[in-house]
Structure 1
Amino acid sequence: MSRAGLDKNPREVAEMFDGVAEGYDRTNSVMTLGFDRRWREWSRRVLDARPGEKVLDLAAGTAVSTVEYGESGAWCVAADFSLGMLRGGAKRPVPKVAADALHLPFRDGAFDAVTVSFGLRNFEDTEAALREMARVVRPGGRLVVCEVSSPTFGPFRAVYKRHLLKVLPVVAKRVSSNPVAYNYLAESMATWPDQRALGEIVARAGWDDVAWFNLTGGLVALHRAVKPLD
């Protein structure tokens, strides 16, 4: 069984996700108590993809979210650097591309919007990845990031960090094809920046009009931004 370290070596992260690809969607639903569906719905609303637009769904995994975004009439492509995850979504009828988030195989300004759900914290260099996303989006194009965050209610935040994160690997032993990978998941969640800190990283990467709002009491946050026109 494979798991990545918090240095987020790309090869180790890819191998880890290859190892969890089998049953990944089911595991997500179990471990989030079904909230993953609600978070995807909010991401879809905020993205607000329109017919004729081109949307890059980065770290798309098995392309569940890509299919949902495409229901708007936009042309949506799923990109991920785990071949195992892409194979896991082989039956989903959207284009799929194996891609490194730090070196995307797309021309400048190719997309109207880019979105990443629960994948940003797995990139080796968060700011560099956000800059690369900006490169492939047209001026005036949109960014939507759905990612774990910091609960806003103090007592719940303390329980979350001290206890709930420790439960994830235990649950994973029962439902995941690679339970040791969820030790990394818990560690990456515990060390991830809070809402404001991530917003500052997004802004440093060259995005404008950065804003965020909380879902499920701040367990998850949606960040959105716009690429400058000049």
Structure 2
Amino acid sequence: MSRADLSKQPSDVAAMFDEVSYHYDRTNAVLSVGNASLWRVATTRAVDPRAGQLVLDVAAGTGTSSASLARSGARVIAADFSPGMIAVGRERQAGNPNIEFVQADATRLPFDDDSFDAVTISFGLRNIVDPDAALAEFFRVTKPGGRVVVCEFSRPPASAIRSAYYAYLRYGMPVFARLASSNPSAYAYLMESIRDWPDQQTLARKIARAGYESVKYRNLTAGIVALHRGFVPMPSSAPGSGAESKGDQ
């Protein structure tokens, strides 16, 4: 069975997600202890899609997040590097005219400059071999005044919660993964990638360095997940206004 490691070689990551694609959504629901749907609602609200807008959902997987975005009437391009994920997504979202699946590398997106009203990625940025290159691509394809929303695992600021969470990742998650996943070894990588990922403020600075302004974040589930949002400056605005932090809401 395939599993990636922290080198995040694209072929290894794609093969790993190909293998877990069919049961991916069920496994996420189990491993997140039911929180995955709440995080998806919060992300959709942060993106704030509107009818007639064009939204890029990167690392869209089977399209669960894309379907949530498309309920607004926005047209959603669901992009993913894994052909297995895309195949399952096309099957499950076959009746949704507002979603189009595209196989794409997040570091070399096949879209024109200033194409999208919003770009979003949920639990996928840490799986990309060069997250900074991906953020630069997100900025390139977002229209002036448009927004980026990144939902990603993060670092709980409270030490007691952080210790309990890391204990769950080390001891609890493998048990649940064996019960729910077709490739439980892949979830060892999940634990490693979460622990290796930067904290909320570091990611906010990365997003600002890509060119986004008014970058803020808020913690979800005590900081186990963080939701970051930034905006592309309008032509009259000076880029790079910096990153700001925002606590739980």
- Between the aligned partners of 1:177 and 1:38, the Cα distance in structure 2 is 24
1:102–1:132 CA contact under 8 A, matched in 2: yes
1:187-198 pair list within 5 angstroms: 187-198=192-203
Q: What are the residue-to-residue correspondences of 1:156-171 with 2, within 5 Å?
A: 156-161=161-166, 163-166=167-170, 167-171=172-176
Which residue does the alignment assign to 2:151?
Answer: 146
The answer to whether 1:38 aligns with 2:5 is: no
CA contact (8 A) 1:144 1:222 kept: yes
- What runs of 5+ residues in structure 1 fail to find an aligned partner? none
Q: Distance in 1 between matches of 2:202 and 2:151?
A: 14
Is contact 1:169–1:186 with CA below 8 Å preserved after alignment?
no
Q: 1:81-230 alignment to 2 at 5 Å?
A: 81-90=81-90, 91-92=92-93, 93=96, 94-161=99-166, 163-166=167-170, 167-230=172-235
User: Paired residues, what number?
Assistant: 229
Instruction: Give the CA deviation at 1:168.
Output: 1.5
Unaligned runs of 5+ in 2: 236-249
Instruction: Give the SS at the match of 2:179.
Output: helix
Structure 1 segments of 4+ aligned residues over 2 angstroms from their partners: none
Task: Tell me, in whole angstroms, the C-alpha distance in 1 between the residues paired with 2:25 and 2:119.
Answer: 22
Query: d(CA) in 2 for partners of 1:109 and 1:135?
Result: 6
TM-score, normalised to structure 2, is 0.90
Q: Secondary structure at the match of 1:55?
A: strand
RCO (CA 8 Å, sep 6+): is it higher in 1 or 2? Answer: 1
RMSD: 0.9
Q: Secondary structure at the match of 2:7?
A: coil
1:65 maps to which residue? Answer: 65
- TM-score calculated relative to the size of structure 1: 0.97
CA deviation vs aligned residue, 1:147-206 (integer Å, no higher than 9, x gap): 001112221112222x11112223211110111100100000011111101101111111
One-letter amino acid matched to 2:223: G
| Secondary structure of 2:22's aligned partner | coil
